[in-house]
Chains A and B, each alone.
Chain A
Amino acid sequence: MTKMADNFSAVDIVEGCRLPVLRKNQEHEDEWPLAEILSVKEVSGRKLFYVHYIDFNKRLDEWVTVDRLDLKKLQFPKKEAKTPTKNGLPGSRPSSPEREVVRKSLDLNIPPATAPSRGKTLPTPKRKVEPPAPLAPQVSPATPVPSLPSSAEASQASVFPAVRETNTTFKAREEHEPISSLTTQQNGTARRLIPAPPGRKRKANCGGADEMIKVLQYNKPQSASVFLPPPPEDSQDSSDGIPTAPRMTGSLVSDRSHDDIITRMKNIECIELGRHRLKPWYFSPYPQELTTLPILYLCEFCLKYLKSLKCLQRHLTKCNLRHPPGNEIYRKGTISFFEIDGRKNKNYSQNLCLLAKCFLDHKTLYYDTDPFLFYVMTEYDSKGFHIVGYFSKEKESTEDYNVACILTLPPYQRRGYGKLLIEFSYELSKVEGKTGTPEKPLSDLGLLSYRSYWSQTILEILMDLKPDNGERPQITINEISEITSVKKEDVISTLQYLNLINYYKGQYILTLSEEIVDGHERAMQKRHLRIDPKCLHFTPKDWSKRGKW
């Protein structure tokens, strides 16, 4: 399947090609992981290639010069060419019908993962600059399939009726792992028909059999539609004829159907925020004219984006904020938390989201910030309250989420702030008297942080259990959940992950191994930053009584 050739020049390299690319690992050793060319550009006569290291997180994607490419091992995009990670990993996630379509029909150069909007356009270097919008309407995942142009268009153009039509055309594919499509519906509200996104997994955690049933019922008349090849975007709100829009709850993209080459690539080179210069990890929809700048300047306090240092200077003469523009609800030592209402303080909320998007792959900025509260953690020094990280939270969550997006800014990472943010979020939940869980999907760092927090929190409780009148101490999962405000499922998964649950003499028991105990104690010694509930001044509001958020 791979065309091998001895000598390719850089000229031959087009988007979608794969080849080993030189990169330094953490130990500063050279390694040559396989990478995919996502984009090619020419800067002052030199070709630059935007590469995505396969099996590595997107945040490591970068522009490289030709000399870092191992041209000898260049693979041209094939119709069957698939990186196992991106497409249809057999075990991890059942392939969606759409992917099948692509897989079967695309003998072009495009790797299916990028299918939605790339389908039609041939990869040309200049394409990356173009905004996808104008193209979007005509582009559809299925367009490459000659036999299905009309249906593809229909499904794209709009919604339900269209979906119905396409039904028939695609029925043939129904056998194709229908379950997969079903599971993708877990999170959508029932009335929406959310097709399986290409190459991505939707939130995995919640939903269950009954929700699936609901989906089926709602789609009864054309239950086949469930198995449709997904239109490029979410086809929610079929009722009001607006073609497609993602779901309106939550803050994370639950499907990557909006993924296109633009959003797959970082667009900001560098952000200057206060003392720090940050290298963004992901795409963020800052005004397009600012993406060409070598450095994007942000006001440290109001987070306004400015194109030059001069502008920032001028802005600072007018901006007198020295802390996030919200109410301080927690202060201990130099650490403070500010609560910002996404509806009342749109400017700041949006600026914060734009910044956060640079570091959160799955965050969506599709909709306004109205339904969210933003809790900004700051560290105080004589200049003011400097943002360290934040998390957002839906004012009303239908799914027990107590965190939507959570981020520690890179300069502050790996210093315990993340855990502090998480702890704070659970403190809020405790005040509210609810259990909560972060919105999914989690990122890799998110998973590690949360697991670490959950582990420490639960172990703390387990180790503190004292035997009562000679009996062996015991505790229920519900109790743990109540004490910690950690949702039951997360408690279970943590117990599992820590391998604490054992089946012993006909019943489940929790066992604490030496190494767990030791590891926990060591970790807790290092955990200096803690939230002091006494310093929290927070009254939860009942947002349901306030009309619209």
Chain B
Amino acid sequence: MSKLSFRARALDAAKPLPVYRNRDLPDLTDCVSINRAVPQMPTGMEKEEELEHHLQRAISAQQVFREKKENMVIPVPEAETNTTYYDRLYKGEFKVPKQLIHIQTLGLDLEQADYDMDSEDEMLLNRLNRKMELKPLQFETMVDRLEKASTHQLVSLSEAKLLLNEDDYLLKSVYDYWVRKRKNCLGPSLIPHIKQEKRDGSTNNDAYVAFRRRTEKMQTRKNRKNDEASYEKMLRLRREFSRTVTILEMIKRREKSKRELLHLTLEMVEKRYQMGDFSGEILREVSLPLVEKPVYSTPITLNSSNRHKMDFKMKKKQAALTDEPPYDQLRPKKKNFRQNRLIPPQRWHDSPPCPYTVDQADIKQYDFHSSGEDECSVASLSPPPSPDEENNPDGVFVFRRKAGCQYLSPCVEQTTADVSPQRPPLCLHYSLTRLSLPPHWVGLGRRRIGRGGRIILDRASCGLDLILKQLDSFTHPVCRSRARGATSLLSEPVTVDQNPPLMSDSTHPSLAKVVNNIQMLTMFCSRPRPAQDNRPEDCSTSVSTLEGSRVLGHPSLQHCSVQGGITEEQYHSHQQQLVQMQKQQDSCTALHRTQSTRVNESSSKTLDPASAQFAASAVISVPPNAHSGENKPYRSSVNGVHPLGPPRPVHSSLSRPVLSPRPSLSSSSSRQSLPNQRSQAGAISPHTARPSAPTTSSLKFATVAASLDQVPKVSTARDSSEPERLLNGLSETTLPMEVT
């Protein structure tokens, strides 16, 4: 190529060349010598072919004449045209379409026999056709199948029978014929094929092997890059697909749960109907204990509107059946009712301590009863809310769930201050806050977790600050009484059972309790908190203390007079039941042996490990570091609690129902210990008195439910005479979600 480079240098392709006619340059001939020095470009032919006689002759002829002369053409073997039978062979006409022909590649692969009958076959066909009908196409298909099925070895007759669904005689004759023909055949197959390469490379030089596969891709940089990119794309695609699968899986689960819920609700209504509970009396009775526990306020605000919608729907239904009881009275019952309906107990039994895998999308979708029609009031016992509130109590601040968070039930309702529909978003909620170690009312504040797990309190000024200061100087009873005052509006003894743990605290300050206390604390901050892993821990540690707490708890409970719909007695009995259940659960954990006597009618109505776990987790969702950080102060403050007043201060002081924008208030002082206890119970409950293994569906339900903020608190209608107990058991679990 040195020639070329010389040429290229000499002859600049980018330089304009003037174009002359020869006649304009009479003196051009002088320059010819120079021109001759320029070497010729390669022709692109193989040299020895280039020298072939005819080509040279043709080239020189062209050089001379500038035009091809007839006799200077390169001779080629002649082709004949005019086959006489052409028209007979290619029958029919083909009309040219107006449009350019566009072919569908897919349509090309028609299943057609590759084998074409020859005259020999035709003879056979004629012979066979004397006895039976055999169409040429049919024959070809048969042979084609036989050919394609046989590799080196011929298909056997039995195989052929399987292969061809033909009459036996026909098959036999064709098969025999085929075998004979194939043996005589020169080629490897009756259908002539281009010789294929063999993998061992032995055919590398075989001239008859053609169209070998390109084992190696063209190696260009570009391609390689391309591969990489497409590989990554594939990976991404895969990831997205699996995510889709997960989501669909969850949706499936959710829908199942929904159905379950519906069934249960139905069932309950039916039961009530059978029982003639038109006034809702029984329901209320039964559900009261449930409400007792709810005392416990969760940091999470539920979307109250959502929660109550069901209520209202129910109410409407009821209205059809019964005359509606007075509003105020009805309230608690309704709420309980709702609980019962929303939480299908048996489900809960069965739920495992499931890892909450529900993702955000799922959660949102699960929000099935959170659609528009929110005529329900803020279902509290507080003064009837304004219509506004009823429609959309949370306004723009309607709670929205966040992925990865577990939400506990809110302590919404009893807020009298909860007038403004415009609450700040959750994380911005300020609650009345009190430090427990140096007991001190901080005022409005909200808690955040800072770097390294530090707890940060944001304070805000409010009109209460003065009062709070005073409070600081007050004694606990004062607090309590205030709390009572506040809670007295509540239908049930919301916060009642907070005491036991605290009291037990004094004896055995166990980790669990401490943790619980902290949880309490944090809950008042109305913050959603991420799921934590302290459940197991809780379970293990709290068990022992529970016993004690129960014992101790009683007195305190007894003193705890509850206003609202519940009598103290009821409450007590409930407490007892609770404790007993816990006991049973404890024992069951170990052995799974007895069905609890209490949980009589259907084990399915009692707690199951999963639900318990769930409940526990709902309560215990404070970041661990937070616990440890606050443990000690808390504990110390807890000491010296006595039946009514003393124990509470700690808790009750945490947040006051008074005017705090967020309904953490619901917890009245004395009752705030309940959550603790309950949470313990919840933690323990995995070892419920239920021998029966959880069913998966219920597990799922629990999972989903757990991930919801407004937990469907449906408990099955209890038809029996003993519903209370069951409900109590239930309520334990459900309560964590419940806010009174």
Contact = CB atoms under 8 A, between A and B. Distances in A.
Contacts of A549: 218
Interface residues of A, number: 169
A440 B13 contact: no
Interface in B197-219: 201-219
25 contacts: A27-B71, A55-B51, A57-B49, A85-B52, A92-B51, A131-B208, A274-B90, A276-B80, A292-B186, A309-B85, A310-B118, A311-B116, A318-B116, A327-B102, A442-B44, A444-B49, A444-B55, A445-B76, A448-B62, A448-B74, A496-B40, A497-B41, A504-B25, A510-B17, A510-B19
Contacts of B201: 242-243
Contacts of A503: 31, 34-35, 38
B67 A523 contact: yes
Nearest to B86: A275
A227 interface: no
A512 B4 CA distance: 23
B230 interface: yes
Interface string B1-37: 1101101101111111111111101001001101100
Nearest to A264: B207
- Interface SS of chain B: loop
Given A57-B54, A131-B206, A89 B48 contact: yes
B154 to A, nearest CB: 17
A395 B739 CA distance: 71
Interface string B164-199: 000000000000000000000111000011110000
Nearest to B102: A327
The 7 nearest A-B residue pairs measured at CB? A519-B66, A92-B47, A289-B187, A493-B41, A136-B205, A133-B206, A365-B210
B116 A328 contact: no
A283 B230 CA distance: 41
A517 B22 CA distance: 10
A505 to B, nearest CB: 8
Given A136-B204, A310-B117, A447-B44, 12 more contacts: A248-B214, A276-B80, A289-B192, A327-B103, A354-B210, A365-B211, A413-B76, A444-B49, A448-B59, A472-B18, A493-B43, A501-B11
A233 B96 CA distance: 48
Interface stretch (B105-113, B382-390, B592-600, B666-674): B105-113
A275 B85 CA distance: 9
B213 to A, nearest CB: 6
Nearest to A255: B46
A9 B350 CA distance: 104
Given A57-B52, A290-B192, A305-B192, A472 B20 contact: yes
Contacts of B73: 26, 414
Interface in A1-45: 25-27, 33
Interface in B421-450: none
- How many of chain B's residues touch chain A, expressed as a range? 35 or more
Contacts of B50: 92, 444, 447
A477 B220 contact: no
B81 to A, nearest CB: 5
Nearest to A242: B201
A311 B8 CA distance: 58
A208 B192 contact: no
Contacts of A118: none
Interface stretch (A98-106, A169-177, A366-374, A423-431): A366-374
A325 B108 contact: yes
Contacts of B7: 492
Contacts of A262: 207-208
Contacts of A145: none
A65 B219 CA distance: 51
A68 interface: no
A208 B212 CA distance: 30
Contacts of A240: 215-216
A114 B85 CA distance: 42
A162 interface: no
A85 B216 contact: no
Interface string A302-313: 000111111111
B207 A411 contact: no
Contacts of B93: 382-383
Contacts of B100: 327-329, 331, 537
A549 B186 CA distance: 37
Given A248-B214, A444-B54, A474-B19, A258 B71 contact: no
A244 B210 contact: no
B208 A478 contact: no
A33 B54 CA distance: 12
A220 interface: no
B41 A489 contact: yes
Nearest to A366: B212
Contacts of A537: 100
Contact of A444 (B31, B45, B122, B230): B45
Interface string A323-365: 1011111010000101000001110001001100000001001
B82 interface: yes
B206 A136 contact: yes
A121 interface: no
B17 A548 contact: no
A382 to B, nearest CB: 5
B360 to A, nearest CB: 36
A448 B136 contact: no
Given A133-B209, A310-B117, A248 B216 contact: yes
A487 B15 CA distance: 16
Contacts of B215: 240, 242
